[in-house]
Amino acid sequence: MTPESITHRRVLKSAIPIILANASVPILGAVDTGVIGQLGLAAPIGAVGIGAIILSSLYWLFGFLRMGTTGLVAQAVGAKNPAEASALLMRGLIVGGLAGLGLIALHYPLFMLALWISPASDDVESLAWIYLSVRIWAAPAAIAIYALTGWLIGQERMRAVLVLQLGMNLLNITLDIWFVLGLGWGVPGVALATLIAEFSGLALALYLCRDAFAGRAWMNRARIFDRARIARMLVVNGDIMLRSVLLLAAFQAFMFIAAGLGDNALAANQVLMQFIHITAYTLDGFAFAVEALVGAAFGAGAVSTLRRAVYICGLWSAIGAVIMALGFWLLGPWLIDTMSTNVEVRAEARLYMVWVVLGPLIGFSSWFLDGVYIGATETRAMRIAMLQSFAVFVVALLLLVPLWGNHGLWLAMMVFYVARTITLGLRYKGIEAAAYNQSLRPVPTASATD
C-alpha cells in the first residue's frame, strides 16, 4: 500500500455510497410516521415514535461493534491477514447474537423502565408495548448487522453497505404500506415490517460478506477464541462504548438544559438539532472512508500512506462542511418553516440559526478525527480525549448558559467540538508512531488450519 494509492477518486468512491446510504435513514423514519399517520389517530404515531426511540437507544449501546470491527478488519487487510479478518467477523457475529439474545431475555424490565422514564398516555404506552414486543425478536439480527457493516467498511466495500441499507429500507417501506394500509394491521404491522426487514438485512449482509466464509478460517475455533485477540477486541470496543456514552450524555444534557429555558427554546433547538444530524450523516461518509484507509495503512505499517489518507479525507471533509454551512445559510429559514408551523418557534429558531451555520465548520474536524482514531484502533487515546472534552463541555455549560441563555448553550456545544478537535489533534503523532512500530513487526504467515 503506497501513498499514491490514496487518491481523491478513491476517497470519493468510498464516501459517496455512505452518504447516500445514510440519507435513506431519515426517509424510513418519515415513511413510518406518514403511514401510521394515515390511521388518523395520534396515539399510534406516538407509540411508534416512542418504541423506535427505545429500541434504537438499546441497539445503539452495541454500536461499538460497527466501529471496532471496521478498525480491526481494516488493519487485518493492511497486514494481508485475511484469516484474521474472517475470524473478526465471526467474533462480531457471536457478540451481536449473544447481545441480541440478552435483550430478548431482559426485554420486560427494560421496556418497563423505558416507558416509566418516558411516560405517555395509557393508549400510547399500550400500543408502544405491542410495537416493542414484536420488534425485540429481531434484536440478534439488528445488532449482528453492526458487525457485518463494520466488516464491509473495513474492506472498503462501501457500495455493498449502500446496497444493504437501501435493500433493508426499501423492503421495510414496502411492507409498511402493505401491512398498514393494505391489511390494516396498524402498529403491529409497522413493527412486523421492521422485524422482517432486519432479518432480511441480516441474510443480505451475510451474502455480501460471503468472502469471509470462502476459506476455513471462519471455522478455526482456536483463532476465533484466541484470548489475546478477544482481549484486544474487548478493550477496543469498551473504549468506543464509553466514548459514545459520553457523547450521548452531552447531547442529552443539551436538550435537558434547553427544556429549562422554555418551551419555545426547546422546540427551536429540537428543530435546529435536525440540521446537526443531517450534517453528521453527510460528513460520516468521509469519516467512514478515513476509518478504512487509515486502518489499512496502519495494519501495513505505512506511515506516509496513513498521512496521505488523513490529508485527503480531511480535505474533502472540510469541503463538505463548507458546502453544508453555505446550504444552511441560504436555505435555513425555509427548512425551519418546513419543520414547524408554529410562528413563535420559527422566530425563535431563526435567532439561533447562526450556530447551525457555524456547526459544520467548527465540528467537522472532531467528527473526522474520530474516524482516524477508530481506523488506527487507538481507542484509549480517543476515550481519554472524550473524557477531557466532556469535562470542558460541563464547565462551558456552567459558565455560559447563566450569562447568555440559549446562545450560551449553543456556544458551549461549539466549545465541545473545539475541545474534541484539540484533544484528539494533540495525540495524532502517537498514531503515526504506533504505525511505524507496526512496520517493525514480522509479517504473519498463514497456517495450514487457516
Residue range 359-391, pLDDT digits in tens: 999 999 999 999 999 999 999 999 999 999 999
pLDDT band with cut points at 50, 70 and 90 for residue 45: confident
Residue 279 near residue 298, CB atoms below 8 Å:
no
Residue reference for cell 478477544: 230
pLDDT exceeds cutoff 60 at 450: no
DSSP H helices, 209-260, are 221-224, 227-259
Q: Give the range among 20-29, 218-227, 332-341, 439-448 with minimum mean pLDDT.
A: 439-448
Compute the distance between CA of residue 360 and CA of residue 320 in angstroms, rounded to an integer.
8
pLDDT exceeds cutoff 50 at 449: no
Residue with the larger pLDDT of the pair 16 and 252: 16
> ∠ CA 55-56-60 to the nearest 5 degrees?
120
pLDDT band with cut points at 50, 70 and 90 for residue 149: very high
Convert the pLDDT of each residue in 311-347 to its tens digit.
999 999 999 999 999 999 999 888 888 766 778 888 8
Say what the pLDDT of residue 119 is.
63
pLDDT band with cut points at 50, 70 and 90 for residue 1: low
Convert the pLDDT of each residue in 252-301 to its tens digit.
788 788 878 887 887 788 778 878 878 888 888 999 999 999 999 998 88
Convert the pLDDT of each residue in 169-199 to its tens digit.
899 989 988 998 888 888 899 899 999 999 9
Please report, as a single letter, which amino acid is at residue 280: A
Most confident range, picked from 57-61, 69-73, 178-182, 411-415 = 411-415
Nearest Cα residue to 147 out of 61, 87, 58, 65: 65
pLDDT exceeds cutoff 90 at 41: no
Residue with the larger pLDDT of the pair 434 and 271: 434
Q: Give the range among 61-65, 134-138, 212-216, 437-441 with minimum mean pLDDT.
A: 437-441
pLDDT band with cut points at 50, 70 and 90 for residue 446: very low
pLDDT exceeds cutoff 60 at 4: yes
Say what the pLDDT of residue 448 is.
39
Average pLDDT, the chain: 88
Burial class (CB in 10 A: 0-12, 13-18, 19+), 117: exposed
Task: Average the pLDDT over 390-414 and give the result.
Answer: 96
Task: Average the pLDDT over 390-398 and give the result.
Answer: 97
> ∠ CA 271-50-335 to the nearest 5 degrees?
20
DSSP letters along 1-55, please? --GGG--HHHHHHHHHHHHHHHHHHHHHHHHHHHHHHTT--HHHHHHHHHHHHHH
pLDDT exceeds cutoff 80 at 350: yes
Say what the pLDDT of residue 153 is.
94
Say what the pLDDT of residue 30 is.
60
Residue with the larger pLDDT of the pair 147 and 221: 147
Phi, psi torsion values for 175, nearest 5 degrees: -70, -35
Convert the pLDDT of each residue in 108-132 to its tens digit.
999 888 888 766 677 778 888 898 9
Residues 6+ apart with CB under 8 A from 79: 299, 300, 443, 444
pLDDT exceeds cutoff 70 at 33: no
Residues 6+ apart with CB under 8 A from 124: 43, 46, 47, 50
Could you give the maximum distance between any two Cα atoms of the chain, in Å?
A: 71
